[in-house]
Amino acid sequence: MKKDMTYMDSVHRDGRIWNLSVMVVLLAFPIAVALIFDAAPDWKGFLMGLVSTAPMYWAVAVVETFTFVPMLGAGGSYLSFVTGNISNLKLPVALNALEQAGVNVASEEGEVVSTIAIAVSSIVTTLIIVLGVLLITPLTPVLNAPVLAPAFAQILPALFGGLGVVFISKNFKIAIAPVALMLVLFIAIPALNAGTVGIMVPVSVLFTLAVSRILYKKNLL
């Protein structure tokens, strides 16, 4: 007798199908452009560039998979890795939704809440991008106004600051170590900037897990 498919089985089935489909679509565009305009890339240069950059992205991909999946859940992870902007948008949205619902992402309820939150976030982001494309010309003088520049520069700090207050206050002992580490790193190494977030977030998470384990073993948690 065929085993009935559970919710998680369907999540993994649909997630694999859609992730592979998106991969094919993303690769199809440059291939189509190359074929239509007879503009094949310089394969030697392409391979040299790939060899020099791919290892870094492979390492980040592996670290992010082990870091983000336990926090986003299976369905949320499939959606997030397709739509992108995980650390800046999808992760805060999922964590806030789980917090408001009072559920754990490891539960089936948490899986549903996280997936819905990330799906809504993706839809809203897409709609905002569409509106931005349509309104960019008439709104350019307003957006470029010097008086608004300080506000735009503080959007991400405000987002993470609001979330940080909630989670740091609830887990003060755990939060001290990663906050101190990131402050020291970003102050001591000026080369670290917004472009390194994709690497530093997983590093911070792994560091936090290690410190939490030590504190737990010493009965400090």
DSSP string for residues in 59-92: HHHHHHHHHHHHHHHHHHHHHHHHH--IIIIIHH
Helices (H), the chain: 7-36, 43-83, 91-101, 108-143, 149-153, 155-170, 172-188, 197-217
Rg (CA), the chain: 21
Q: What mean pLDDT is predicted for residues 148-169?
A: 77
Residue 84, domain member (yes or no): yes
Digit-coded pLDDT (tens) for 102-138: 888 888 889 999 999 999 999 999 998 899 889 888 8
Domain presence at residue 62: yes
In a domain, 195, yes or no: no
7-36 and 108-143 helices cross at what angle (nearest 10)? 40
Question: What's the whole-number average pLDDT of the chain?
Answer: 84
- The pair of structure tokens assigned to 55 is 């290892």
Average of per-residue pLDDT across 14-41? 89
Residue 78 lies in a domain: yes
Residue 17 lies in a domain: yes
| Nearest by Cα to 114 from 74, 83, 82 | 74
Domain count for the chain: 1
Task: Look at residue 196 and tell me whether its pLDDT is greater than 70.
Answer: no
Structural domain containing residue 91: 7-170
Q: Please classify residue 177 by burial: count the beta carbons closer than 10 Å to its beta carbon, then call 0-12 exposed, 13-18 middle and 19+ buried.
A: middle
- Asked if the structure places residue 1 within a domain, the reply is no
Mean of pLDDT values over 143-171:
78
Which residue would you say has higher pLDDT here, 191 or 74?
A: 74
Q: Evaluate whether 78 touches 20 at the Cβ level (below 8 Å).
A: no
In a domain, 33, yes or no: yes
Q: Is residue 207 part of a domain?
A: no
